[in-house]
Structure 1
Amino acid sequence: MKVNEPAGFWIRFGAIILDALIIAVPLTIISVLFTGGLAIDKYVSNTLSFLYSLLTPILWNGYTIGKRICGIRIARVDDGTPPGLGTMLLRNVVAGILYAVTLGIAIIASAIMIGVREDKRSLHDFIAGTEVIRD
C-alpha cells in the first residue's frame, strides 16, 4: 500500500495563488466586460469561481489548475480516490459557512493546522474527509 505524502502549507498556498492568477483574475475581468462594470459583475465572477473550485477537482481527479502545476491534489482520506460532488460540497460550502460564522478565525486555525499537524489536514479537510497530497 502506497503512503501518500501530505502537501504542506506553502505548496498549498502557492496552488491557491496560481488558481487566483490563472482563473479568478481573468474571470473577474471577463465578468466586468460582459456586465459593463455593474454590481452584478461580482456575483458573476464569484459564482464562476465557486463552480470552478467545486467542479474542477471532481472532473479532473482532485486537481485544480494551480494544484496540477504544483503537483498536489485533493484525495479522500479513506481510499485516496478523487473527491465526489458530496465531498466537494462539504469541503467548500460547509467549510465556507464555518469560516464565515467564525469571522475568519477558523481560516487562521486551518492555516495553523496545515503548518503544524503531521498529516497537514485543515478544518475543511476534516469536514469533508479529504487530504491534499503530493503526486
Structure 2
Amino acid sequence: MCVDCGSLLNVQNQNPYAGFWIRFVAALIDSIIISIPVFILAAIGLVLGFSFMMDPYMMSYDEAMFLSESFEGIFYLIGAFIGLFYFAGMHASKWQATFGKRIVGIKVMDLSGRRISFFRGVWRYISTFFSGIILYMGYIMAGFSSKKQSLHDKMAGTIVVKRK
C-alpha cells in the first residue's frame, strides 16, 4: 500500500502534470538564460588565451596553448556549477521553478506535492545526464509516462506540474 498515494492523487487533481512540449519550451528558455554567463566566461577565457599567445616574449606557443586550454577547462567547470546552482536553487526555491518554467507556468515538486530540497534539486540536475545520454530518451519518457516524468524525475522522485 502506498503511503503517499492519497497525497499524490490530491496533487494530480490540483495541478495537472506538465507534458513534454511545455517542458521542452521551458528548457529552451532556461538554456538561453544559462548560456549568457557561460558565453561571457568562455569569451573571457578566449581573450586571455589569445593575449598570452600574441606576446611571444611572455611564453612559448606550447605554454600559451596549455594555459588557454586550462582556462577553457576552468570556465567549463564554472559553467557547470552555474547550471547546477541555477537549477537546484531555483527548483528548491519558493517558486519551485526556474525562470523558464515560471514563464510557461509549471513547477517542480516531490511526489507528495511539497517543495523539493536543494540536495534533491542537485540530484535531479545530475540525473539529467542520464536522461540525455542515449539520444535524449530519458527526456522523451515524459511524453509517455502516466505522471509525465522524465528519467531524471523518476530518479529524483519529482514531478512537474502546471501551476494554478
After TM superposition, the score normalised by the length of structure 2 is: 0.68
CA RMSD of aligned residues (A): 2.2
Deviation larger for 59-68 or 12-21: 59-68
Aligned twin of 1:121: 149
Uncovered stretches (5+) of structure 2, i.e. residues with no partner: 1-9, 50-70
* 8 Å CA contact 1:6, 1:131 repeated in 2: yes
Query: How far apart, in 2, do the equivalents of 1:111 and 1:96 lie?
Result: 8
* 8 Å CA contact 1:56, 1:62 repeated in 2: yes
Deviation at 1:33, TM superposition (A): 4.3
After TM superposition, the score normalised by the length of structure 1 is: 0.81
* 8 Å CA contact 2:111, 2:159 repeated in 1: yes
Q: Percent identity?
A: 29
Aligned twin of 1:82: 115
Query: How far apart, in 2, do the equivalents of 1:122 and 1:14 lie?
Result: 15
Uncovered stretches (5+) of structure 1, i.e. residues with no partner: none
Largest Rg, 1 or 2? 2
Deviation at 1:111, TM superposition (A): 2.5
- Which secondary structure does the structure 2 equivalent of 1:6 belong to? coil
4+ residue runs of structure 1 moved beyond 3 angstroms?
Answer: 33-38
- Which secondary structure does the structure 1 equivalent of 2:18 belong to? coil
Change (3 A) 1:96 1:67: closer
Aligned length: 128
* 8 Å CA contact 2:88, 2:119 repeated in 1: no
- Deviations, residues 63-117 of structure 1 (Å, cap 9, x unaligned): 1000000100001112x11111232132122x246x18xx812841x23321112
* 1:31 equivalent among 38, 41, 64: 41
